[in-house]
Copies of this chain bind each other. A is one copy, B any other.
Amino acid sequence: MAGRAGVVGTGLIGGSIGMALRRQGWHVSGVDLDPVRAARALDLGALDAVGRDPHADVTFVATPVGSVAELSRAVLEAGTGVVTDVGSVKGPIVRAVGDARFVGGHPMAGSEQEGVDGARADLFEGRLTVLTPTPQTNASALERASNFWRALGSRVCEVDPHTHDRAVGVTSHVPHAVASALAAALPDDWRKFCATGFRDTTRVAAGDPALWAAIFRDNREGVLDALDRLTGQLTAFRHALETDDVATLMDLLIRGKENRDALGT
């Protein structure tokens, strides 16, 4: 089962992919825009070699969303292996690559803003990776991509790129926008009134603004749609509170609790 893999972008995710594959006997080559980061990945045991491997069976492109399509196309042109990625938005990438050997991926794990020093072989253990094939995707490439992600310890599901982007608009992008808005709306002298609730609710706002601005722009339609969905809920809440409509207030809170409880801790 073990073979040759390439990693483009050796940060937290790319480094973790390298570590997980090497642990299973794969040969892993990796490159990064920042040579210091690639050298660090080698030092940490995430890579066997720094450099491109044209004979890689699979290459994981683990760079910020803006550069995934271009880098994926370059890998596809230089070799015959399958290429997959980890971008948070799939529609634009899948369209821009437009290749039967490319299978868009999005592991529901980790966080783009951390460096290779946070990498660990078990980052994908038991997590879900969403693959986003299209009618154009080669069936064997899809099967191989699916097996590669499973080799990392990940569970795998398939969904079309459009549905993926609308879903993560709701589950990731708008929560980030809201966390950021809550944090931005906090006056300095009220900071002392913040307890664990505020900290939890706004934690993701500490993410890299440039990375997130790119994600929002790449998924503009999905984010705007999810934002309207949220605003609808907040408007209903506001109206219920203003008119002291306790039944509606309770209904909204109970639905929120039920959905949150269903997720587990």
Q: From A261, which residue of chain B is reached at the shortest CB distance?
A: B206
Q: From A211, which residue of chain B is reached at the shortest CB distance?
A: B253
| A2 beta carbon closer than 8 Å to chain B | no
Contact A193 B108 (CB under 8 A): yes
Contact A175 B182 (CB under 8 A): yes
In the bound assembly, the distance between CA atoms of A255 and B213 in angstroms comes to 13
Contact A175 B204 (CB under 8 A): no
Q: A179-B256, A185-B229 are in contact. Are A217 and B193 (CB under 8 A)?
A: no
| A96 beta carbon closer than 8 Å to chain B | no
| A93 beta carbon closer than 8 Å to chain B | no
Contact A257 B209 (CB under 8 A): yes
Can you list 25 A-B pairs with a CB-CB distance of less than 8 A?
A: A108-B194, A108-B195, A175-B197, A178-B182, A179-B260, A180-B255, A181-B233, A181-B234, A181-B256, A182-B233, A183-B257, A184-B255, A185-B229, A185-B232, A197-B204, A200-B203, A201-B203, A202-B260, A206-B257, A208-B257, A209-B254, A216-B241, A217-B249, A224-B242, A231-B231
Q: Which residues of A pack against B, CB within 8 Å? A: 108-109, 111, 127-128, 130, 157, 164, 167-168, 170-172, 174-188, 190-210, 212-213, 216-217, 220, 223-224, 226-227, 229-234, 237-238, 241-242, 244, 246, 249-250, 252-257, 259-263, 265
